[in-house]
Amino acid sequence: MGIDRRSFLKIVGLSALGVSSGAWEVLQPGEVDAAHGHGAVEHAAKAATRWAMVVDMRRCKDEKGCTKCIDACRLVHNIPVIENPKREVKWIWKELYEHAFPDTHNEYMADEFKETPFILMCNHCDNPPCVRVCPTKATFKRPDGIVAMDYHRCIGCRFCMAACPYGSRNLNWIDPRPYIRKINPEFPTRMKGVVEKCNFCVERLAQGLMPACVDACHCGALVFGNLNDPESNVRRILRKNVSMRRKPELGTHPCVFYLV
Amino acid sequence: MYDTGKIIIGLAIFVGLVTSPFWLNKGKAAPKPTPKLDTPVIQQLEKKECVESRAYMRAAHMQLLNEWRDQALRKGERTYINKKGEKIKISLQNTCMKCHSNKKEFCDTCHNYTDIKPYCWDCHFIPEGRKTWASTEGHS
Amino acid sequence: MIEKALKGGPRYWAWISFLLLVIAIGFMFYLRQLSTGLGITGMSRDISWGVYIAQFTYLVGVAAGAVMLVMPKYLHGYKRYGEIIIFGEFLAIAAVTMCLLFIVADLGQPMRLMNVLLHPTPNSILFWDMIVLNGYLLINLIVGYNTILAMRKNVPPPGWIKPFIYLSIPWAFSIHTVTAFLYCGLPGRHAWLTAIMAPRFLASAFASGPAFLVILLMIIKRVTKWSPDPEAIQNVARTICYAMIANLFFLGLEFFTAFYSQIPGHMHPLKYLFWGLWGYNSLVPWMRVSIIAGLIGVFIMLIPPLRRKEGFLILGCAAIVLGTWIDKGVGLVIGGFIPNPFEKITEYQPTLPEISITLAIWATGFLILTVLYKMVIYLKERDLAVE
């Protein structure tokens, strides 16, 4: 044979490419017959809604360590309860003031403030750094302002976890199913390797319900509404009371407001 | 030809390995899958029809599910209008699996036959599987 | 010519077997990671990037370091580097391959890797990182492959690779700048949110990459019949020296900004790393060793009588490799997460599976490097025999 090894390998490589590109055509699934074809998706009219949450800390007094909002969220969304804090998954949780608002250090603050745990969750920022960094758009901003997660697309790179200035995001380090205390069969679980966080109960909003935590709070400390409607509950509260947000200097424009 | 002996032996081993599925199974054919549609919910239906026609579903149920996934999760549009104009709520767990609650006798028969292991069940609940914790149940 | 890698003495095969063993063990652990999840590592909700990303960050620097030889040779006609540049290019190939492997090993859902290509997101720096890393790998493969073909025939490389070589110069800067952008654009991480992150990365890269290369060349000198031009090595050593001085200087600048401004958010990460904070101090010994190693390295490289002695040269380069590895990997990546957004501290310690997978990927890189270098050495020794 008059051919040398390198040329032979090049020919084999190119032929394999040629064959596989031809074979690709054959392997494609056939065109779906239009006669059996499928329908279309109904496009709901979208008003310009912008969902927001007001946490009224004057009403949330943490009586006897109340965790109704946290428990409701866990139940509705099949959130695992993992003891090891390194692996925990929390969509809504409590932090003391100095940890919720760490850059507003004040040694002479009222004792009541120092000891009452604040309710924290994803802030569904208007300018979310997590959405900016996601390489697959697995986390994305909906038109109604909610920062949503597509668990099917997430590759688990955890860039969003590094980007979030509020520590709201969780990776499923292990399979969460064994740690779910009580199952809600209406809502799926998540698999290991994807990131999750509070979703402002989009699936409940779609049915016209309030988020689970808001429904569960018996003190009326959690108020959920439409920021774009000047007469909504949240706008009226924000007009009348002094409110604050976490780390506003970062320009993320969070949509969770705290009344103190 | 250089190294004739080594090449012939190598070729023989290669042919043996590549054709191994055939002679290892010694000509056995797995039986044709027979998905069962006799779930309580289906039996109570007046018109025994799925979201779309059987032929379409058989060919393209995964394409439909992918479309549903993007429409419901990414666009927030949770109502699907099928070819007949009926409105269907988009949900694998609460629409599809409500009727087809017998995953082992329905979904798995064809999936096992074609050796497909969809990992949908890692997250979406299998109707009877809720009682046991099985992220592996999707790979039955 | 890859078959040259199949010919070697007992020491060579012992080395290859060792590498294959490390790879096999790490691969077993990786299979466990695929089935159990990233929970088998030491990462946590607070420290969501660990050893894997730390190695990736360091190795991008090593890959970019090759530009410190390409620039003098091709932009400024410094011909002495001519015979060692191919080693730098092959080091870049091995380093970038390791980077890509570390990224894949770090993913929670690696089977969905293609989503980054299927759903391109130009506003995400990870997207650009993927592009620049793969581009740099491609450039070095094209240039390296053609160079070695030309060496085989003892002709100069074809002229058409010159544009690729010139492209590789800004591209090398870009791979490390983009990697720095992964960190320095994130609000809320005070340790990372600094404009000097990219310059620090580059200075560290231009010290660690060539230092790595010098160590490899000295090893080649010991185990093969070929040895590099001592003057060329000395010039690389001077480059390493200045780059490391810049690196330490930039670190000093960070200290000044943090401690003169007295802003807690800026001070806390540095305090944690170098002195311990709120009772947590597991990284303090590491960071202090890193500074001492860096200073030893600079001292040796700065003083010609020391630098010209081979033993000291290798020691100096090793010190710089160690210092930059700790500074970038441990100090920067882990330190950036501490304290967490709630001003609390969770510490990090890699687990055995994590370390094993890391070593396996390093071993893969060394395997690639060994195979590639074997080809070059074969050609160099062949030319020596002819002379």
Longest dimension (CA), chain B: 74
Chain B CB contacts of A43 below 8 Å: 77
Chain B CB contacts of A44 below 8 Å: 76-77, 79
Q: Contact A69/A220 with Cβ under 8 angstroms?
A: no
Chain C CB contacts of A161 below 8 Å: 45, 48
A38 touches chain B (CB under 8 A): yes
Render C243-302 in DSSP notation, one character per residue. HHHHHHHHHHHHHHHHHHHT-HHHHHHHHHHHT-BTTB-TTHHHHHHHHHHHHHHHHHHH
Kind of pairing between the strands at A92-95 and A147-149: unpaired
Q: What is the pLDDT along chain A (260 residues), one digit of tens a residue?
A: 567 888 888 888 888 777 766 555 555 544 433 333 345 545 544 558 999 999 999 998 777 789 999 999 999 999 999 999 999 999 999 999 999 998 887 878 888 888 889 999 999 999 999 999 999 999 999 999 999 999 999 999 999 999 999 999 999 999 999 999 999 988 999 999 999 999 999 999 988 999 999 999 999 999 999 999 999 999 999 999 999 999 999 999 999 999 98
Q: Around Cβ A193, how many Cβ atoms within 10 Å? A: 27
Whole-complex ipTM? 0.91
The two three-digit tokens of residue C180, written as one number: 């720095």
Radius of gyration of chain B (CA): 22
- The span from the CA of A51 to the CA of A235, in Å, is 11
A135 touches chain B (CB under 8 A): no
Q: Contact A226/A51 with Cβ under 8 angstroms?
A: yes
The two three-digit tokens of residue C287, written as one number: 């960071």
Chain C CB contacts of A154 below 8 Å: 108-109, 112
Model confidence pLDDT, tens digit, residues B1-52: 788 999 999 999 999 999 998 888 776 777 788 888 888 888 888 877 888 8
Asked if the Cβ–Cβ distance from A189 to B123 is below 8 Å, we say yes
Interior CA angle at A88 toward A86 and A89, to 5°? 140
This model's pTM is above 0.80:
yes
Residue of chain A minimizing CA distance to B134: A177
Chain C CB contacts of A171 below 8 Å: 38, 45, 48, 108
DSSP designation for C38: G
Residue of chain A minimizing CA distance to B54: A36
Asked if the Cβ–Cβ distance from A191 to B135 is below 8 Å, we say yes
Residue of chain A minimizing CA distance to B70: A150
Q: Contact C101/C93 with Cβ under 8 angstroms?
A: no
Q: What is the pLDDT of residue C33?
A: 96
Asked if the Cβ–Cβ distance from B56 to A32 is below 8 Å, we say yes
Q: Contact A227/A237 with Cβ under 8 angstroms?
A: no
**Type and span of the H or E element at B89:** strand B87-89
- The span from the CA of C33 to the CA of A175, in Å, is 12
Q: Around Cβ A7, how many Cβ atoms within 10 Å? A: 10
Of A86, A129, A159, the CB nearest to C45: A86
Domains in chain A (CATH in brackets) are 51-259 (3.30.70.20)
Domains in chain C (CATH in brackets) are 2-240+352-386 (1.20.1630)
